[in-house]
């Protein structure tokens, strides 16, 4: 079973931001603070807060019991906890957390203007043809393919790199995509995923922060 939680990053004051930093490890707090803009800091912090909130809620554990490690290629995982898998993603003011009982990858992207075509080197010819096939939906199609690709490679702890151009994700059965007007979200997992109501994600985060 795979659940996906999506949340808008709220605007908060400096005091609130500093208070929220205490919910993550000192190492993570320092890494968040090293990010250049406050928007990026908030995005990264809320992704970790939502992840911790969801894990505490679903696993019935305390925040202080959660211990994370990171794979050689950067995928975070829970120490001393087999059978619980997650993936996180953030973009603009959105954060996504996928939680599953098997390996999972998630990617969310705000649909925005494409500034350059440097990404094409990561795409197969059929993916490029799909993106270019309808000039009225090029942006949407690009982010559909891109989020599918990110989710696919994140599932097993790889980034989008050299192998990406040799794997077409267009008809990949493990990758599913959901669209809204402003964003695209893809999940790579066994079976279907459930997109949890935003109000439920907010409730879980609120209850975590009020402990």
Residues that bind ligand COA (CB under 6 A): 44, 47, 73-76, 87-90, 107, 118-119, 150, 153-154, 157-160
Nearest one of 173, 96, 189, 179 to 143, comparing CA atoms = 179
Taking each helix axis from N to C end, the angle separating 138-155 and 125-132, rounded to the nearest 10 degrees, works out to 150
Q: How far is the CB of 47 from ligand COA (least distance, A)?
A: 5
Q: How far is the CB of 119 from ligand COA (least distance, A)?
A: 5
Phi and psi for 37 in degrees, rounded to 5? -105, 160
Q: How far is the CB of 44 from ligand COA (least distance, A)?
A: 5
Q: Which is nearer to ligand COA, 46 or 136 (CB)?
A: 46
Task: Give the residue at shortest CB distance from ligand COA.
Answer: 74
Q: Which is nearer to ligand COA, 56 or 89 (CB)?
A: 89
Q: Which is nearer to ligand COA, 83 or 118 (CB)?
A: 118
> 5: which strand partners?
97
Q: How far is the CB of 147 from ligand COA (least distance, A)?
A: 8
CB 90 within 8 A of CB 42: no
Q: Which is nearer to ligand COA, 63 or 120 (CB)?
A: 120
- The three-state secondary structure class of 76 is strand
| Whole-angstrom distance, CA of residue 4 vs CA of residue 87 | 9
Residue 148 in tokens = 């599918």
């Amino acid at each position: 079973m795979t659940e996906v939680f999506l949340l808008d990053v709220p605007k908060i004051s400096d005091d609130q931001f500093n208070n929220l930093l205490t919910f993550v490890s000192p190492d993570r707090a320092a890494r968040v603070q090293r990010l250049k803009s406050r928007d990026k800091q908030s995005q990264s912090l809320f992704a970790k807060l939502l992840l911790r909130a969801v894990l505490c809620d679903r696993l019935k554990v305390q925040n202080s019991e959660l211990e994370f490690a990171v794979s050689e290629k950067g995928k975070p995982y829970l120490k001393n906890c087999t059978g619980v898998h997650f993936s996180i993603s953030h973009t603009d003011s959105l954060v996504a957390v996928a939680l599953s009982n098997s390996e999972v990858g998630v990617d969310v992207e705000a649909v925005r203007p494409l500034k350059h075509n440097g990404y094409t080197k990561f795409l197969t010819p059929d993916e490029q043809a799909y993106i270019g096939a309808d000039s009225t939906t090029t942006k949407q199609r690009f982010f559909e393919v891109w989020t599918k690709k990110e989710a696919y490679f994140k599932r097993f702890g790889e980034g989008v790199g050299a192998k990406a151009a040799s794997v077409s994700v267009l008809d990949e059965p493990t990758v599913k995509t959901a669209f809204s007007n402003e964003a695209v979200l893809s999940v790579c997992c066994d079976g279907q995923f459930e997109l949890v109501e935003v109000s439920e994600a907010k409730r879980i985060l609120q209850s975590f922060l009020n402990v």
